[in-house]
Amino acid sequence: MNKLLLLLIAMFFISSVPLYSQVEVSRGKSEAFGGDVHGVGFSAGPASGFGVSYRYHTSGKFSVQGIVGVFKPKTTDTFYSFGAELQQDLLRSNTTRFFFDVASSYIYNGSDGNNYAAPFRAGVGLGGEFLIQDALHFTLEGLFTYFSDGTILPLPQLAFHYYFY
């Protein structure tokens, strides 16, 4: 009987002690965008380029994103892509963010010179970012894209980013 009573008292004290986890996973907290947020992922689009991207969302309503891509297909020369984006939030909720977007990139492919007639691109438009799961977000953008040969086309861009809150 004494052992049972001692065990119950020990379980009571153990269960009343708060335990803390080492890692906390975000559940789409919009308040996390009230502070600085960093994200790493992949971005693909004619205005900002193609490749690995890093996004920094300031404590305000601005995001800055850099994109760098280096690809070596078997049949052509190495492909280089360097791009950047500036985003300003228009609306934000727990799972969605809509923003105004300005993007620019330079794309190079060739050994003796650039094979692209319009390597410089710039775009302006709107985008939306959507929570997929935990801290993984999907971004879809529609930008009017200017090519350095004078062509202007409305084109989409896609991105996936994992945020570190």
Domain boundaries, the chain: 34-164
Amino acid letter, residue 150: G
Ordered DSSP codes for 78-128: -EEEEEEEEEEEEEE-SSEEEEEEEEEEEEEE-SSS---S--EEEEEEEEE
Q: What is the pLDDT of residue 114?
A: 87
Q: What is the pLDDT of residue 39?
A: 94
From first to last of the 165 residues of the chain, give the pLDDT tens digit.
566 666 666 665 565 555 544 434 444 454 555 678 899 999 999 999 999 999 999 888 899 999 999 988 888 788 899 999 999 999 988 789 999 999 999 999 887 888 888 999 999 999 999 999 988 999 999 999 999 999 999 999 999 999 987
Q: What is the pLDDT of residue 77?
A: 84
Q: What is the pLDDT of residue 115?
A: 85
Q: What is the pLDDT of residue 34?
A: 61
The CATH fold assigned to 34-164 is Porin (2.40.160)
Buried b (16+ CB within 10 A) or exposed e, 101-136: bbbbbbbbbeeeeeebeebebbbebebbbebeeebe
User: Is 42 strand, coil or helix?
Assistant: strand
Closest CA to 45 of 161, 155, 160, 125: 155
CA 123 vs. chain centroid, Å, equals 18
User: Is 35 strand, coil or helix?
Assistant: coil
**What's the pTM value of the predicted model, to 2 decimals?**
0.76
Q: What is the pLDDT of residue 78?
A: 86
Q: What is the pLDDT of residue 92?
A: 86
Q: What is the pLDDT of residue 165?
A: 74
